[in-house]
Structure 1
Amino acid sequence: MPNVVRRPRSAVRRPVTIAVVAVLLLVVAFLAAAALVPFAPTTASATTYAAPRSSAPELRFPGYGATAVEAEGFPESLTTSGDRKKRSIASISKIVTALVVLDRKPLDVGQQGPTVRFTPAMEALYAQYAAKNGEVAPLPSDLRMSQYRVFQVALMESANNYAGALALWAFGSMDGYREAAAAWLDEHGLDDTTIVEPTGLDPRNRSTATDLVDLGKLALADPLVEQVVGTRSATVPGVGEIENSNKLLGMDGVEGIKTGTLDEAGACLLFAATYERGGRDVTVIGVMLGGVDHDSLDVDVRRLLHSVADDFHVVTLTHEGQTFGTYEAPWQDGVDATASRAASVLVWGRTEVTAKATFEPVTVGAAGDRVGSVRFRVSHHDPVTVPLELDAAIDDPGVWWRWSNPFRGVQFDPAAALG
């Protein structure tokens, strides 16, 4: 009987056990990998932005002379009508006189300033200007008056002898004033303005409408001039009650600044008016030259101001919570990237708006997490940037979803896979 070699049962079971263990280890490794391998971050897909629309302004200009108008802080609003040549500016010249004198002898609001003593040369201006049918005011009996009071009579009453007196007081002679005025105009870039004397009675005092708008800005930037030209009436010792020659003061927001009348210039007005628009004050500065008379000119100024003010409007760039992109995670519905706040801008006339959103890669995140920003470009304005945030959470899907959707949406590094 041949010898039979029997293997121990343990020897037979060993390969089976190893195989089972190996399979279990593979399953465990698979489950662990499926549960632990990180997901690849996703970037939101942008939504279409509907830019707000605005229409072109329709301003109501007169059909004569030269006109320019601009809202401070809105350079795109500068609009002109009529000719662009240099024109006689009459008593608007006194604004230059006031600013040039203040440049030499500054005076703060609330102060009377030094005493102006009227010399014989200054006294003689009364008869000199009256002979030219220019506006004049009586001198105080003691021939003394504070600098502030002289400014009031010169600018409000438009008294030529007081404007001339300021020039002589500050610069000693008309030649001295003329040189100082030329230097001041050059310093402030008023290249199209010529001033040969301080009152405007000389038609050679000339400027363009656009230069005068810039002059108006300079005048309102000086607190003293702004106060005086915006005062309707005052009582000046030695002179009496004076009234502002600008009859539009207090009407339709008008707060200054200077009238002008001369045969060669016609009726003229350098004006400013302030309106509340979009929660802020907006000042409109303009000039109208070459009118027939001040009554009709004032009507035209009011009509123009209304049309300028009506062209201001608030453009809404975005509402709070407005969607600019959507993150798509494989395990849940899309989550939006939304504006964290509302944004708007006050504009004038036709305005173009564009928006560009940038998104950060996101794997998981909580509602309210910042995930990017949207940058709005608004014509004639500085860009506006609004943060974007998740409007809901992007949660980790959990181990059961990972096991039932193995390696779906995971981050895969080819270099690591290739060793």
Structure 2
Amino acid sequence: MGGTPQRTDDLTSFEELMDDAPGATGSGRAARIALIVVLVSILVVLAGGGGYVWWASAAPLAAPTLTTQLPTAAPGEAAAVRLPADGAMRVSVTGGEQYLGADTDGAWAASGGDDPRPIASIAKLITALVVLDRHPLNDANDPGPTVSFTEADTDLYDQFYVRGATIARMPDGLRLSLHDSLATMLLPSASNYAVAIARWGFGSEGAYVDAARAWLSANGLSSTRIVDATGIDDRNTSTPRDLVALGKIAEANPALAAIAGTSSISLPNGPGTVRNTNDLLGTEGVRGLKTGNLGEGTFNLLFSSQLDVGIGQPLQITGIRLGGATHDSTDQDVATFLKSVRAGFHDVTVGTAGDEMGTITTPWGASARVVLARTTTLLTWSDTPIATTSAIATPRTWADGEKVGSITWTAGPNTASSDVTIVGALEQPTLWWRLTHPGDLGSPFSPQPAATP
């Protein structure tokens, strides 16, 4: 029973089948193997190509690039503060230091030097202050003590009349409150009332002069000289520096400041209706204080103004104009100065809605603009420099209208801001771009920036 053992399994390898095929030869076998390799390769390419297309179409995109620029803003026009070319002027300004800066050596603006000049009826303001120092009024509505005018006081009317001085009617036996007496002296600048009040307060005009000199010294007004209660004598002199300081003292006295700001008062049983010689009351915020003149070329105005320049609170301006040519020109000099200060404040447009602040670009060529959302203005004084800062953040969605930050402008104490927003939608890349730019695509399994369009 010997011989070669029979195969008991019926499994045949693929190679054996190929070898046993009818007509099989060596070269035919090689051709069939090559065909199999080609078929397998085609299947691999087809399977792989479909996977690449899927990957390229779904892969995350790199975040767009945001490029911004910091805008600049030109300052406003330089203020042209107008001071008179003749005489003298000195002005102090408080309440606007953040814009204007503080006074230098007691003055914000000055012209004509600081030499002593005749003050004329501004001396009557000193008469009022010295009398009120001894007989104070509690407030603007306090009538104060009663002043009983004597026959000698009544005679003053004729004495000053022949001298060509300003006077007010004083009937025999007149009795007025101190408040009304001071108003009759200050508003029309009545010299007969000035002497009569000085006598009432101190017993004589000479005693008043002594008291006035002591008061001036106590208040640091060492460059002011007083020789009578009226100012008619041209030896009553002061400097612009002292007179500005005097004006501030008067402003601080509620009763006196109220009287100086009154346009007229009617006292039927006494002088009748008396009117203020300060024609600027109510113009450019003027609310006092005293006029004075000794004739052509010696017109003076000690003025107080609460000037509204649009900064939320008025500027407190105290100034003196000495040596004006006429009453009207003196008023004009003061009004012109105040107008020039007010005109020096202006709203400057620092940015206009739609102004381009930057761009957004993508690797596939889409773009959008970054612009100011609104027109913005900034209140400035003169040509104060304007500083610009920005706060820009990476967008979350890169969508049209999205806020990406803000621009802020600063000048002096003021700031103004505008949002910065995206204008324009970013178009998505085409499939062809994705297929041909694999280096600009990310792995779907790797983290990508949140701001992906």
Please state if 1:84 is matched with 2:84: no
Q: CA deviation at 1:85?
A: 1.6
Counterpart in the other structure of 2:328: 298
Distance 1:246 1:34, change over 3 A: closer
Counterpart in the other structure of 2:385: 353
8 Å Cα contact 1:329/1:394 also seen in 2? no
Distance 1:328 1:289, change over 3 A: same
Distance 1:370 1:28, change over 3 A: closer
Distance 1:24 1:242 in 2: 105
Distance 1:264 1:273, change over 3 A: same
Distance 1:375 1:363 in 2: 22
Once the two structures are superposed, the pairs formed by residues 15-164 of structure 1 within 5 Å of their partners are 34=60, 39=63, 42=66, 44-47=68-71, 49-55=72-78, 57=80, 59=82, 61-63=84-86, 65-68=87-90, 73=96, 75=100, 78-98=108-128, 105-109=136-140, 111-118=141-148, 126=156, 130=160, 135=166, 137=168, 139=170, 141-142=172-173, 144-160=175-191, 162-163=193-194
Distance 2:439 2:180 in 1: 87
8 Å Cα contact 2:366/2:427 also seen in 1? no
8 Å Cα contact 2:57/2:431 also seen in 1? no
Please state if 1:246 is matched with 2:243: no
8 Å Cα contact 1:336/1:392 also seen in 2? yes
Q: 1:343 aligns with which of 346, 355, 377?
A: 377
Distance 1:142 1:345, change over 3 A: same
8 Å Cα contact 2:186/2:260 also seen in 1? yes
Distance 1:197 1:400 in 2: 101
Amino acid at match of 2:275: E
Distance 2:316 2:234 in 1: 30
8 Å Cα contact 1:34/1:407 also seen in 2? no
Distance 1:327 1:214 in 2: 59
Q: CA deviation at 1:205?
A: 4.8
Amino acid at match of 1:155: L
Q: Which runs of 5+ in 1 are unaligned?
A: 9-15, 414-419
Distance 2:117 2:68 in 1: 60
Q: 1:374 aligns with which of 408, 412, 420?
A: 408
Amino acid at match of 2:272: G
8 Å Cα contact 2:395/2:403 also seen in 1? no
Kindly, what percent of the aligned residue pairs are identical?
A: 26
Distance 2:66 2:202 in 1: 74
8 Å Cα contact 1:341/1:386 also seen in 2? no
Distance 1:33 1:336, change over 3 A: same
Distance 1:33 1:218 in 2: 80
Amino acid at match of 1:34: P
Please state if 1:260 is matched with 2:292: yes
Q: CA deviation at 1:82?
A: 2.2
Render the CA deviation track for 1:116-163: whole Å, top value 9, x for unaligned: 334879959959995995655455655532232122112112234544
**Structure of larger gyration radius:** 2
Name the SS for the 1:149 alignment partner.
helix
Counterpart in the other structure of 2:450: none
Q: 2:394 aligns with which of 362, 366, 369?
A: 362
Name the SS for the 1:46 alignment partner.
coil
Amino acid at match of 1:246: N
Once the two structures are superposed, the pairs formed by residues 285-324 of structure 1 within 5 Å of their partners are 286-291=319-324, 296-302=326-332, 305-306=335-336, 309=339, 312=343, 314-321=346-353, 323=355
Amino acid at match of 1:389: V
Amino acid at match of 2:115: K
Q: CA deviation at 1:328?
A: 2.4
| Structure 1 range deviating more: 335-344 or 401-410 | 401-410
Distance 1:252 1:58, change over 3 A: closer
Counterpart in the other structure of 2:416: 385
Name the SS for the 1:228 alignment partner.
helix
Amino acid at match of 2:188: E
- If the length of structure 1 is used for normalisation, what is the TM-score? 0.65
Name the SS for the 1:34 alignment partner.
coil
Name the SS for the 1:353 alignment partner.
coil
Distance 1:92 1:254 in 2: 16
Q: CA deviation at 1:284?
A: 6.7
Distance 1:214 1:401 in 2: 83
Pairwise CA RMSD: 5.5
Render the CA deviation track for 1:195-230: whole Å, top value 9, x for unaligned: 677544565654333553455466556664444334
Name the SS for the 2:143 alignment partner.
coil
Distance 2:169 2:441 in 1: 92
Distance 1:319 1:45, change over 3 A: closer
Distance 1:219 1:144 in 2: 25
Q: CA deviation at 1:25?
A: 9.6
Distance 2:441 2:125 in 1: 73
Distance 1:249 1:224, change over 3 A: same
8 Å Cα contact 1:273/1:283 also seen in 2? yes
Name the SS for the 2:84 alignment partner.
coil
